[in-house]
Structure formats: structure tokens, C-alpha cells
Structure 1
Amino acid sequence: MPAVFLARAKGLSKLLGLCLIAGVLVAAVLFPVAAGFGALSNQAAETVNNTSAEFEERIPATITTITDREDTPIAHLYHQNRVIVPSEAISEQMKAAIVAVEDHRFEDHDGVDWQATFRVALQNQMAGDVQAGGSTLTQQYVKNYLAFVVADGDPENPEYQAATETTIARKLREARIALDIEDRMTKDEILAGYLNVVPYGNEIYGVHQAADAYFDTTPGELNVAQSALLAAIVNQPSTLNPIRRPEQAIERRNLVIQLMADQGRFSEDGPEANQEIADEIKKEPLGVLNPLNQTSHGCVAARTGTVNGFFCSYVVSYLQERGFDLDDLKRGGYTIKTSLDPRAMELAKQAAENHVPKNADGIANVMAIVEPGTEAHKVRALVANRDYGLDSDQFQTTIDLPSYVTTFGAGSIYKVFTAAAALEGGYKINQSLDVPESYTSSVYGANGAPYTVRNAGGYPESMSFTEALATSPNTPFIPMQEAVGVPAVVDMASRLGLRRGMNEVNLSGTAIQPDSSDGRLNKSQGDAVSQGNQGSFTLGAGPTSVLELANVSATLVSGGMWCPPSPIEEIRDRNGDLVPIDEEPCERVVDEGLANSMAQAMSHDTTGSGTAANAASAAGWSRPMVGKTGTTQNYVSAAFTGATPHLAGANMVFGDSSRPLPLCNGTPPVQCGGGNMYGGHVPARTWFQAMTPLHEGLPDTPLPAADPRYS
């Protein structure tokens, strides 16, 4: 028959079908046999157009993949475990299998198989109920799309219930939308759409993830036996679970294979040839992976284990803070390429665990690595001796140890902020400072009590500004802070990198509570310190973020350019198009000459009598770098931050139990009564163990010269 007549025949068939739909709607109201279905039928008629619009607008939820800088996946986020693939990426065997078992007249109808519809309508009429289906693949596509895309697969969603209920109303709606879809999509597009949307059991959606999970292959490589099994599973995902019910699954798979043979899908040489091929294929085992190759979900179940969880968690938080909706991230099918350097992660993790074992009682050893620059500060590693996870018995945690603001301080590292503010106020890096054994401030104190600080250990009576940063006596920095004022030092800390620590966290180490009845909680740490004129700020007792400490060092070796510590290289949507991200721009926070002068002033901590000299020497370190150690007064925490022009990093060791105790240096370190843990111990040793191999092959770049204005 000429094509024009076939087209006219199909058009007439569709017209008759539309009349049938209208007629059934009327009949459902007028005739008692349809009693009980009339209201639903009318509702279906009223909502068909709205549902069709939703069908076009809603996009199936797909997996978001988070990768490292080398494009290797480290984690996945998803609402439904699905990856959309085009028709050409699906094997012909898979398409043939699903058509054979679900709708062998798929190529011949226009979305509704009117033969089957009339037959089923008669059966239902005789039964006085809706008992049989007769849905085409297009109608099934509609049903699954409404249930698992529009209604999110939520059985409590009214749209899900409407899409799955056994009523004439549902059938009519499916038929109407199916006819519309066949006008807009090709048969191949409909078939691919169906295979991409439907569930395959075990929380797997779509043929791509089914092929990967059950057979560790791609949809384009699925053979006949594999395709037949997946086509079988779609019918009843729970009942035909091949892991729990292999006999039922193989029986249904073989039925699909037989249907393919009966329909001549294996050979053009006739029924015998088709049957012979089918019999051979039926002999194949299920071949299903056990356990299934399930795609991990979230940062806890990062595909590469528990190492990357801290970084993944920071990525998610970072994006949410910049306007990304978490639900959209789980549905959008994004590819988020992060700045994670797998080698830096590996070396930092090894170093953290080497100096504080992951099972150390109540002691966390945390490290962050940032790459300096004037246009970006990319985060390369976030690790801890603990693993990221939910099993506390295995020493795991989901607290973002490397990036959150801990309740513990970084000790004398905060002298860096006092020193930088002092340079800005007129001090010089080579000027001589008095170093008395103790110093009582006339500016600081509470309730009339004087504020006195003492040095730990013997120091000469005077030393240069640079020597003071390297050897870290306490007494020179209190009068230095008096000269410039606490607010100026707090402001310098925020400018150089302690943004969240100064501006978003209170003195208890938690986020500011604007609506709290406690006035103290209404103040950020920076405001509380400044307004309270707290002289102890320069000794670093307040809450600190290890990542922000690393970024402070990155700012100093970047000529005073602060950039947000970004974990993002780029984001692409499901179509491969770049997605913009609203990150803070880099900004000059101190004069370049001041930053360079501070870098020179901090370059002696790893040499001579510097507090990190022993750790640097033991690691064979000889490169020029900035560095500063810190220890809190009661030894519950200690830290080290340092940088070269290539990489900046910070380490912090602190008590992570519910009742932290002072820390004692040792192999391994332990909680103890008195405490003797310094920043030059575990923190500096961890830093140098990770950073020494990371710098292999990099040029031995000198630090910039000090500016004469600050010398």
C-alpha cells in the first residue's frame, strides 16, 4: 500500500481513537456500567492538558557527578539513580527485547493500540471492573514519566497515585497524552525515553545505570541475554529481583528470549533458525554481579572510599552558600569538576595518619592545602586522620574537620595578624622589640584585674620583629597589639583569610544566632573580641578553621591578594554547557609590599632557632617558605601554617572527644594531664611529610623581597 494511504489510515485511526476517548467519557457518565468511574473520567478530561504541559516541562532526575581535577569521579549526588543516554547509545538487542515483551505492535500504532484497547474495553465491560491493561509502550512511558518524574516516585504524591491507580480515568489520560507524544517524538525517541525513565529494581532507574549495576557494562554493549533480563525486570522489579529470586528472574528472562524468537528478531531464516538461536541463549547464566555495582550516593559513600568525604562535603556546602539548591544538585545531572588533587590528598592523608593514627583516642590531626595565586586560591586537599563516615566505631565522623570552624584556637599563629597590623601601623620587620620575661598590660584586663602574659622558656631581652615571629615569645606582641588596637588586629585576621572565623562564628565556635536571647551569641567572634578589647586575641585562643589558616598563608605569598578558598574548577549541566558560579572576586587586602615583607619576616620559622626548624630539618626541607607555629595555653590544640609560592597548607591537632584533655607529644601522641604539645611537633611534622614530596619537581622559587618601606 502506498505511504500516503498508510498515513491516511493512521490519521483516521487516531481520529476514531479520539472519538472513542470522548465517547467513553460520556458513557462513563450516562451508563450505569461505568458507575464509579464517571467522576474520575471527568477529572481526567479536565487535567489532560495540564498534565501534558507538566510532561513537557519536567525533566527526569539524573545523577550529579563530582570529580577530582583529573575528571575521576569521587562522589555522586542523586534523587534517583539515573543517567540519561541517547537512543544511539542503547543496543538494538535492548530495544528489541523491550518491544518484544511489552508492545510487539509498537511500530504499527500511533501511541494507542486500538485493537488491544477495544479488546480490553470489552473484557472490562463484561467484568464490570478495570481488570486488563492493553497499554502500549508509549502509554507505559506516560505512566512511568508521570509516576517517577512528575511525581518523583513518591507514593504519597497525589500525582503518583493518579498515575498508578487502576481506573478508566488513568487509562484515558494516558491515551490522550500518548497520542500527543507520538505527534512530537519519533518512535526511537519514545523507546529511548521509556528505557531511560523506568525503574529496574534496587533503586536503579534507566537502562544506563541498570547495565552498569547488573553487568558492569554500558547500554550500548548489552547482549541479548542481558537485554532480555533487564526487559524482564522492568515488568516486576521487586518480584523478579535477580539477586533475591534468580529462578523467577531467569524464567522471565527466557520468556522474553522466546518472544523475541517468535517474532523473528534473531534471524531472517525462519522460525527454526530463530528457535535454535533462542535455545542457545537461554542456556546462558544470569551473569548478574553480586553484589551489584551500585553507584554511591552522597559524600559518606564516596566511590573512592572515605578519604574524599571531607572534600566532597565542603564542595556541597560551598555550592549551597553560593545559591545552588541541594535538591537541584541531586536532580540536575551536573558534572562538578573540583580542584581536588588526588596526589595531594593521598600524601596529606598518609601524613595525618602517620603522626596521629586514625584510632587515636580523642585526638584529631587535620590538614588543608590551598594553591596560592592572584586570580584564584584552589583547594587541593582536605584530610584528617579520621575517615569521613557514619561508623564511629571505625573512628569515622561527618563533622567537616578540615573546613569548619573548630572550637579550638591556633595559638601563636594569630601573632601573624598582630604583626601585619603593626606593619600597617608603622612597625618595621627589622626593628628591635623588647622581650621581658613577663608583661602586664595597662590596656587589657577584666573587672579591674590586670592582664599579664609570660614567655614559655628563656629569651634574650630584645630581638628583631622577624626573630620574634620565628621564636614566638609572647611579651612583644601584647604591646604591639596595644599600639594598633584589637579591632585593627581582628580586621587584619578577617582580611587575610579568617572570614568565617571572624565574621560568622561566635566565641563558642558555632554560627551566630541573631534571634538568641543571649546577647553574647548575637555577636560574631570578631565583634566580641573587638568590643571586649580582648588582649588575648593575639595568642590565638578563639575558634579557628584549618582551611582558613591555609588560605591566610596563601594570601601572604600571593602578594596580599585574598581569594575565596574554592574547591571548584568548573560545573557543567546535563547538556555539557558551563554553569556559572557566583564566587567572591579576589581582592587586594593588604599592600603588596607589606605582604612581601611579612613573607620575609615569617621565613625564619623553619631555620636556626625557629619553632619549626627541627621538623623542617628532619624532613630534609631546604626551600624558602613562610611558616608559623601555634600552641594554645592549656595544650588542647596546636597548629602550623606555612606556604611556598607553589602551595600553602595548615595543620592542626586538637581534642575531638566530648571532653577534650591536654595533648602530650609522643609516638603516637596521647591525651594527658599536663600537656606538652607544640605547633612544632605533630602539626609541623605532618605538614613537612606531606609537602616535601608534593614539591618534588617544582622550581625552587624564592620568596619576594621585602619592601624597603617596611624594613
Structure 2
Amino acid sequence: MRTAALAKLIGLCLVAGLLLAGMAIPVVGAAGLVSNRMSDQVAATTVSMLETPPPLMTTITDKDGVPFAYLYDQYRVLTPPDKVAQVMKDALVSTEDRRFYEHKGVDWLATLRAALRNQSEGGTTQGASTITQQYVKNHLVHVLEREDVGGQKEAQEQTIARKLREARIAMHVETQLSKDEILSRYLDVVPFGGTIYGIAAASQAYFNTTPDRLTVPQAAMLAGMVNSPTFLDPEARPDKAIERRNMVIDLMAENAKLSREQAEEHKRAPLGLATPVRPLSTGCVGSGVEFGFYCSFVVNHLTRNGYSLNELKIGGYTIRTTLDRALTQQAKQAAEAQVPKTTPGIANTAAVVRPGKERHEVVALVANRDYGLKKEEFQTQFDLPSAVENKFGAGSVYKVFTAAAALEKGGLGIESVIESPGSYASRVFRGGAPGCPGTGEPFTYWYCLRNHDGSYPPRMPLKEALATSPNTAFVILEERVGLDAVVDMAHRLGMRETMATNIAGVPPDPKSKQKELRVTQAEFYKGSGNASFTLGPAPTSTLELANVAATLMSGGVWCPPSPIVKVTDRHGEDVGFRDAPCEQVVEEPLANALAVGMSGDDQDRGTAAAAAKQFGWTRPALGKTGTTEEYKSAAFIGATADYAGAVQVFNDSTSPSGICVNAGPPRLCGEGDIYGGTLPARTWFDFMMKAHANLPEKPLPPVDPRYLRP
């Protein structure tokens, strides 16, 4: 019985050899059709293998080209043959395929020997795969069938049919690639445990080195892992890893790649693993606590511009961003200095954009807390349009839009005197409590409001009003120009994604039972005629506020806030990434006039004067503070010719209480006392002083006389 089985096995091997030889024997009929079909399938698979590159890690860099984040499913960096140490090649060939440089893809002698061994041990399929065959199998499993569980299973089935197909493909591959190319491709595709794929990733993760610098013990350990990376995990099973490594070293000596004396010396070496053994971190959490929010914004920006997340994880792109590391670190330090990261329920967010008429580059996005994905960790949404982070609004910062609309309507300049009564009853707008106590106005009027205190004169220039922020003055201006014009101006100057969310700060929900949640903020305020829009009570994006300041400092040119300098593919070719085009949203003289009109906030009676003085700020800049009615949030925007920035401090807890900043550290309290001129302005002046430290002072633009006092 055993003799018959052995004869049958030898016959099967001979037949397989003939089939694998490329159908050299003439065939006819159905067998010929089947053989031709198999040949076509093998040829097609070979072509697909050779033309389908393996998944590669995408690298995200700062403005100077220094990486700060990586995206991947398989941590892999392609390595050309001349960048792999010869000892690594020797270790692999000695262990896996001693006749690699002699056979044509299949080692028939080894195949027959393995078949005899497996038959005697009761098996039918193990052993004798050449490096070329292993390359074929690994490429099928980890590249071609990476997302097909069924295909992966089929590519790993321990059957004669699968082995024959694999062998035929291997022989085809040998006709297309040199031995060095095959070895290099194998070393690029093979897994080394977890998400580590390829020799470059393994060299970094296990030894913190590169493939060209691998030593004999390091190369031997990695060569020994390839067929069982989990069982031979050197961290989990160091004894097994050393045993296997030393076996590989012995094989290298047997294969005349080392002397016996050298082998014994290398076997005495410790494993010498990196501490800890880790691949490069993937995703934005891996970019660190300082850069996580920026990384998230970059990924979101790319996915909104045609890249899928999967494409980013396998494409091997290099994404050069506009991130300024130093400014980011300075901004984060400033945010934490004003609101420590451990402060319960109070967030402090900051965004910085570089003005320009061709691009608005986002150089920093930070928060007082650290970026994280766990439920208990702080999160904020710079990655619009999914949400806006400050649900309570930017307060009087929105008066900028009213001022811009009024200047555009005409008949008004920044030195024009406007009304600013202590209280006011609007005959145009809804939204306030019925009746206007202290005004003598009857119940029938719709919107009543008063200024913060009685220190305001009844009339003042628009520039002074922008600096001191009387509520009544801007509601009167809002009446003059119309609410629709003010809402539209907010959109034009930069609040585009913000205005596209609803008053809860999320995308409109057409199924909601609440009408105000079914429409955008723009639609809600226009439809309701609610004058409070100029007082900024609705959810607001810190990034878009910064971009509004950048638009004003760019002569009225709005550009999408962009973090991208250039995207190159795995071959280093520029893919030609382009953002949406910039727009001239208001005429340049108007923007210049408004910038100058906002330049008094850090001076004299300006609401940010104390903060500016505290940090020694003297440069020309535009600025505007804002505080919401119940002190649940406050904001500051400011800009010079070099940088535009915004800061928002807000309650992000589940308790809708105010924020107190006096008589102790920042905290949630029943009735707040925060203002835009306190924590937000202090944060802004803190990091902007450092950002401008080595920059020459630049003046604000000149004002066209027609926008001074028409």
C-alpha cells in the first residue's frame, strides 16, 4: 500500500511538473481548452501582481517637510535592492530557499523531497515553497486580496490545486523579474507581525534602524520570523526568537555566508530590541497631543476634496502641510496658561491663519486640552462641516459683519458718528422680551435691549463703537442695512460652514420635530427676523473666525482655510492638489477701512486694551472681542499683516452654566463674569507676541476717504 501511494505521489509530481512547464506537450479537446484557460488566468494574475503596488503608508509633514503624522493599515516603506544589507539577503536565502539563484521559480528537488517527507508523515501540502512562491502567496494575501476575506482564505488554502496555481504564477514571475527584484519585492510585502510589513518597517520597529544597517543577528532574527511572526514575536517569546535566530545563523554558516567562528560569535549576541518595539504610530492620535487637532483637520480637508480615507491609508502619499510647529506649540502653551487642561468643563481653542490674496494657510489649530479619541478625552471639531465647537457663540465678534454690511450699503464711514443709546426698542426685529423696561416704550414693540452698562455716550464714531462694543448701536445699524445683508456678509467674509449648520451647531436634520433644527443658521435668522444675530449667540467655528480676520487683512479676498502645500504620490510626483478658488467678497477699500476701524480694540477704552497691555502688545492690528449674554462663552479675533487668529473660550460641559474668571482660576459657576477681553484676548496676545517676535512691524492699510466720513 505504501509503495503504491508513493508511486502515485511521484507520478503526480511529474504531471505537475509538465503542467507547470507552460504546456510544452501538445494538447487537444477539452483538456486543451482547460489548459489554455488556466494559462490565461495565470498570466492575468501575474500581470495584476506586477502592476498592483502594495499598500504604502502616507506621511503628513509640517511646512518644513518634517513628518508629524502617519496614516496606514499596513506599515510599509518600499526599499530598493541596493538599500538592503547583504546579510539580510543571505539570511533569508539561507533559511527559506538555498537554491533561489538556481531555480526558475519552483525547486523541484526540494518539492519532491518535501512531498516524500509529508507523505511519510501523513501530510500532503507542506514545505518546499521557494522565495518566489512565497512572494506570490504574500502578494495575493496582503495586496491583491487585502480587502477580500474570501480571496485571502483561498490564497492560503493548503491544497494541491492552490500550490500548483501558486507555482505556475511563480514561474511566470521569474520570466518577468530578476532575482534581485523578486527578493526585494518579497522583502517589501512580507508581514513581520501586527501592522508591520516589509523589511524597512521591521527594521525600524524592532531595532530602530534601516535595512541597509542591519547586523547579522538582527537580519537572522527577522529572516527567522517571516513564516511565523506571531509565534516568534521577540517581545512575547524572546527565548523562541533567539532559538530561531541562532538556527538561521547556523544555516548561514552552512551556506558559506559566515564562518563557523563568526556564527558562534553572533549567536552570543543579545536580541537588542528597540525599547519599546513599536511601529510608527498611525492616525491623528499618534501625531501627539499638540498636533492631533491639526492632523484631524488635514485628513478631513483631503476627504472633502476627493480622497477617501482608505486611499490615504494605502496610497503612500506625502502630504506637505502649512503647519508651523513653533507657533502651534506657543498657541497651545498660551491656551493652557489661561485655562489649564485639567479645568472641568471649560475649553479654550485657538486657530491661526496666514492672510493672503492667493491662499489662506492654516498654520495652527490648538486647544487647552490634549487631542484624543476616547470618550473621556477632550474633543473639538476643527474638521468642519460635521459640527462647530463653541455651541454658545462668539458674542459681539459678529458686530463685525453688521459694520461691514453698513459700510457696503454706503453713506457711512469708520469715523461717522452713530447712535448708541443706553437702551433701545426695535420696531423692526423680533426676539427680545415683551416691553422695554426703562425706555418708556409700550409692550407692542418686538425687540428690546440695553448696553452692558451706563458708561457709553449716546453717540460715537463707528470706530469707537467697534472698540467699545455698545449693543444698541449695532442693532440700529442692523435695522438700517437689513438682517439678510448682515447674515449674507457673515457668509461672504468666511463663516461658510458655520452658517451651513443649524442653531445646535450640527448639520440640519430634516426629520427633527424642531423647526430651527431643520434649517441652517442662515435660514433660521433670516426667517425669524431675530436681531440677536449681530450679538453672536449661535454656534461658531474658531477656525472660520480666524479666516474672517484673514479675509479683512487680505483686502477683502476670501480663500478657503487650507492646510495643504503639496501632495505627492508614492513616486514623488506632484498630484496637483488644488483648493477652491479665492473670491473678492468685498471691495478692497472697504476691507481696509474695516481693518483700520477695528484697530482700536487694544487701545484706550477698547475691550482688549488691558490684555494687550499685560503682554506688551504695541503693533498695529485689528481686533474684536465678544461675550455671550449668559457668560457661557467669549471670543477674540485679531490680525496683523502676518497672522490672523481667533480664540474661543466656552463651556463644553453638560451643565449650561456661566464661566467665572475673577477671584480664582477659571471655573464653571452660576453666573459668569468672563469677557472676550479676558481669557480669549490674553491667550491671543500671549502667543501672537511670540509669533511676531522676529518680524518687522507692518502698518495697517491706508483708508480710502470715502470710507472715513462720507
**TM-score after normalising by structure 1:** 0.91
Of 219, 237, 241, the residue aligned with 1:249 is 241
In 2, the alpha carbon distance for the partners of 1:576 and 1:514 equals: 45
Of 331, 335, 338, the residue aligned with 2:318 is 335
Would the aligned equivalents of 1:216 and 1:293 in 2 still touch at CA under 8 Å?
no
In 1, the alpha carbon distance for the partners of 2:114 and 2:21 equals: 13
Aligned to 2:437: none
Counterparts in 2 of 1:382 and 1:498: CA distance versus 1, 3 Å: same
Aligned to 1:584: 580
Of 393, 397, 401, the residue aligned with 1:409 is 393
Aligned to 2:624: 628
Of 306, 309, 317, the residue aligned with 2:289 is 306
In 1, the alpha carbon distance for the partners of 2:383 and 2:512 equals: 28
* Deviation of the 1:53 alpha carbon: 4.0
* Deviation of the 1:62 alpha carbon: 1.0
Of 550, 557, 560, the residue aligned with 1:554 is 550
Would the aligned equivalents of 1:384 and 1:401 in 2 still touch at CA under 8 Å?
no
Aligned to 2:267: 282
In 2, the alpha carbon distance for the partners of 1:474 and 1:559 equals: 27
Query: Aligned pair count?
Result: 673
Aligned to 2:379: 398
In 2, the alpha carbon distance for the partners of 1:346 and 1:211 equals: 31
* Deviation of the 1:45 alpha carbon: 6.9
In 2, the alpha carbon distance for the partners of 1:341 and 1:350 equals: 14
- SS of structure 2 residue aligned to 1:544: coil
Aligned to 1:224: 216
* Deviation of the 1:14 alpha carbon: 13
In 2, the alpha carbon distance for the partners of 1:431 and 1:508 equals: 37
Matched, 1:80 2:74: yes
What letter matches 1:464 in structure 2? P
> Which moves more between the two structures, 504-513 or 363-372?
504-513
How does 1:156-171 map onto structure 2 within 5 Å?
157-171=149-163
What letter matches 1:528 in structure 2? F
Aligned to 1:34: none
* Deviation of the 1:17 alpha carbon: 4.6
In 2, the alpha carbon distance for the partners of 1:245 and 1:126 equals: 31
- SS of structure 1 residue aligned to 2:509: coil
Aligned to 2:480: 483
What letter matches 2:552 in structure 1? L
> Which moves more between the two structures, 45-54 or 77-86?
45-54
In 2, the alpha carbon distance for the partners of 1:19 and 1:347 equals: 66
> Which moves more between the two structures, 126-135 or 676-685?
126-135
Of 414, 424, 428, the residue aligned with 2:413 is 428
Aligned to 2:191: 199
In 2, the alpha carbon distance for the partners of 1:570 and 1:695 equals: 26
* Deviation of the 1:307 alpha carbon: 1.1
Counterparts in 2 of 1:79 and 1:370: CA distance versus 1, 3 Å: same
In 2, the alpha carbon distance for the partners of 1:636 and 1:57 equals: 58
Matched, 1:357 2:340: yes
Of 358, 364, 385, the residue aligned with 2:368 is 385
* Deviation of the 1:400 alpha carbon: 2.5
Per-residue Cα deviation, 1:660-696 (whole angstroms, up to 9, x for no partner): 3101113421111111100000000000000001101
* Deviation of the 1:158 alpha carbon: 1.3
Matched, 1:442 2:439: no
What letter matches 2:186 in structure 1? Y
- SS of structure 2 residue aligned to 1:176: helix
Would the aligned equivalents of 1:65 and 1:335 in 2 still touch at CA under 8 Å?
yes
Matched, 1:324 2:318: no
How does 1:514-529 map onto structure 2 within 5 Å?
514=510, 519-529=515-525
Gaps of 5+ in 1: 1-12, 31-39, 267-273
Of 81, 90, 102, the residue aligned with 2:84 is 90
Matched, 1:641 2:622: no
In 2, the alpha carbon distance for the partners of 1:298 and 1:618 equals: 39
Gaps of 5+ in 2: 1-13, 435-443
> Which moves more between the two structures, 531-540 or 346-355?
531-540
Of 252, 256, 259, the residue aligned with 2:251 is 259
Would the aligned equivalents of 2:22 and 2:39 in 1 still touch at CA under 8 Å?
no
> Which moves more between the two structures, 109-118 or 700-709?
109-118
In 2, the alpha carbon distance for the partners of 1:43 and 1:661 equals: 74
Of 455, 458, 478, the residue aligned with 2:451 is 455
Matched, 1:177 2:161: no
* Deviation of the 1:514 alpha carbon: 4.7
- SS of structure 2 residue aligned to 1:109: coil
- SS of structure 2 residue aligned to 1:445: coil
In 1, the alpha carbon distance for the partners of 2:243 and 2:370 equals: 44
* Deviation of the 1:16 alpha carbon: 5.8
In 2, the alpha carbon distance for the partners of 1:128 and 1:263 equals: 30
> Which moves more between the two structures, 286-295 or 366-375?
286-295
In 2, the alpha carbon distance for the partners of 1:218 and 1:288 equals: 14
Per-residue Cα deviation, 1:180-238 (whole angstroms, up to 9, x for no partner): 11111111010000001001113211100100011110011001111000001112101
In 1, the alpha carbon distance for the partners of 2:542 and 2:20 equals: 70
Give identity over the alignment, percent: 50
In 1, the alpha carbon distance for the partners of 2:113 and 2:22 equals: 15
Would the aligned equivalents of 1:333 and 1:573 in 2 still touch at CA under 8 Å?
yes
* Deviation of the 1:22 alpha carbon: 6.2
* Deviation of the 1:125 alpha carbon: 6.2
In 1, the alpha carbon distance for the partners of 2:35 and 2:572 equals: 42
Instruction: Calculate the aligned-residue CA RMSD, in Å.
Output: 2.4
In 2, the alpha carbon distance for the partners of 1:298 and 1:41 equals: 47
Per-residue Cα deviation, 1:31-65 (whole angstroms, up to 9, x for no partner): xxxxxxxxx99997785344334323432111111
In 2, the alpha carbon distance for the partners of 1:177 and 1:158 equals: 20
Would the aligned equivalents of 2:296 and 2:383 in 1 still touch at CA under 8 Å?
no
* Deviation of the 1:333 alpha carbon: 0.8
Of 506, 530, 533, the residue aligned with 2:526 is 530
Aligned to 1:66: 60
In 2, the alpha carbon distance for the partners of 1:44 and 1:285 equals: 49
> Which moves more between the two structures, 419-428 or 384-393?
384-393
Aligned to 2:358: 375
Aligned to 2:11: none
In 2, the alpha carbon distance for the partners of 1:497 and 1:682 equals: 24
Per-residue Cα deviation, 1:160-196 (whole angstroms, up to 9, x for no partner): 1111110011111111111111111111010000001
Aligned to 1:4: none
In 1, the alpha carbon distance for the partners of 2:126 and 2:383 equals: 59
What letter matches 2:322 in structure 1? S
- SS of structure 2 residue aligned to 1:476: helix
Would the aligned equivalents of 2:657 and 2:668 in 1 still touch at CA under 8 Å?
yes
What letter matches 2:339 in structure 1? V
What letter matches 1:598 in structure 2? L
- SS of structure 1 residue aligned to 2:294: helix
In 2, the alpha carbon distance for the partners of 1:44 and 1:331 equals: 31
- SS of structure 1 residue aligned to 2:671: coil
Would the aligned equivalents of 2:417 and 2:459 in 1 still touch at CA under 8 Å?
yes
In 2, the alpha carbon distance for the partners of 1:680 and 1:336 equals: 37
Matched, 1:669 2:661: no
- SS of structure 1 residue aligned to 2:172: helix
Aligned to 2:8: none
In 2, the alpha carbon distance for the partners of 1:44 and 1:669 equals: 74
Counterparts in 2 of 1:46 and 1:186: CA distance versus 1, 3 Å: closer
- SS of structure 2 residue aligned to 1:387: coil
Per-residue Cα deviation, 1:102-155 (whole angstroms, up to 9, x for no partner): 001000011111222333445556777524321110000000111111122x6x
Matched, 1:684 2:681: yes
